[in-house]
């Protein structure tokens, strides 16, 4: 450890068949092999070995099926946030549906953990230019931190030109009392290069990831994110397109090794660590 600033570590707690790349309807989830306890257990063991605590954004469907797992995560000192109930993209929900999903997932997590839930991440980073109202609802409902806006565009999500640093979003001319912590990118001129989580973390050489995070840390904290299923090389292989085969299954057996490499070189903390610091800029999202 010891390169640069402390960084945030976040985990999206969902099982392998609940991702948007595989696109399996929630009504069919019960028909697939449940591997979340196994994959999360491997991740928890890795975090324990390196004395790392993280923020776990928990899918309500998983919490309802595995409340003991959520209590185990919380008792290990990790922070718990909401990832919604059924991994529905925000832009496919109405405002009322989003609020209901948000509040029901929070109630469930608070009942299981006995803790107040103040953190949120949208499924697949799906707060978009047309759904900034979700940030206002999060503020209205007393959430302190959101981590849902990618500062680059993908086919599903992201806002090109959004801030790359933690900030208070300005929506409709008003500064929200909500900290937005975006996923980390390396900025090279006008290019923003993602590297710190998901497919990008699995695809890039670990040396490149270390170099990129060290460069980011010269100016600001970064955030690494991971899904437990990305540590599960034994998960079933479905018949999918070549593109989805690449994005979902690439290098699953190396995720733990890459995380361990990062844990030895950088210090990681939950998102809550950053809430007490203050001094974050207020920036229009668009």
pLDDT tens figures, 72-129 = 999 999 999 999 999 999 999 999 999 999 999 999 999 999 999 999 999 999 999 9
- CATH architecture type of domain 6-284: Alpha-Beta Barrel (3.20)
Q: Is 198 left (phi over 0), alpha (psi -120 to 50) or beta?
A: left
Spatial distance between the Cα atoms of 155 and 60, rounded to a whole number of angstroms: 25
Residue 18 has pLDDT above 60, yes or no: yes
Residue 195 has pLDDT above 60, yes or no: yes
Q: pLDDT digit string (tens) for 213-265?
A: 999 999 999 999 999 999 999 999 999 999 999 999 999 999 999 999 999 99
> What is the DSSP code (8-state) at residue 19?
S
pLDDT-derived band at 275 (thresholds 50, 70, 90) equals very high
**How many CB atoms within 10 Å of residue 170?**
17
**How many CB atoms within 10 Å of residue 28?**
9
Q: pLDDT digit string (tens) for 138-189?
A: 999 999 999 999 999 987 789 999 999 999 999 999 999 999 999 999 999 9
DSSP conformation letters of 175-190? E-S-EE-PPPEEEETT
Q: Where are the domains of the chain?
A: 6-284
């Amino acid at each position: 450890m010891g390169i640069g600033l402390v960084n945030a570590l976040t985990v999206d707690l969902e099982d392998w068949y609940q991702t948007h790349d595989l696109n399996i309807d929630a009504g069919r989830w019960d028909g697939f092999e449940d591997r979340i306890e196994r994959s999360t257990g491997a991740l928890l063991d890795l975090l324990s070995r390196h004395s790392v605590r993280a923020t776990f954004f928990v899918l309500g469907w998983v919490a309802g099926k595995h409340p003991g797992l959520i209590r185990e995560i919380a008792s290990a000192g990790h922070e718990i946030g909401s990832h919604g109930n059924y991994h529905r993209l925000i832009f496919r929900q109405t405002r009322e549906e989003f609020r209901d999903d948000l509040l029901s997932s929070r109630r469930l997590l608070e009942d299981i953990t006995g803790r107040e839930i103040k953190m949120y991440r949208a499924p697949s980073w799906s707060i978009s230019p047309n759904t900034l109202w979700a940030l206002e609802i999060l503020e209205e409902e007393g959430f302190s931190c959101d981590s849902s806006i990618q500062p680059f565009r993908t086919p599903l999500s992201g806002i090109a030109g959004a801030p790359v640093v933690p900030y208070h979003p300005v929506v409709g001319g008003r500064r929200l009392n909500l900290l937005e912590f975006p996923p980390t990118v390396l900025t090279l001129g006008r290019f923003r290069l993602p590297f710190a989580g998901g497919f990008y973390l699995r695809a890039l050489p670990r040396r490149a990831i270390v170099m990129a995070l060290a460069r980011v840390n010269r100016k600001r904290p970064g955030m690494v994110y991971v899904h437990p299923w990305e540590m599960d090389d034994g998960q079933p292989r479905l018949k999918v397109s070549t593109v989805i085969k690449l994005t979902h299954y690439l290098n699953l057996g190396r995720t733990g090794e890459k995380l361990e490499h990062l844990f030895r070189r950088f210090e990681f903390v939950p998102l809550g660590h950053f809430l007490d610091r203050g001094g974050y800029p207020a920036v229009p999202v668009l």
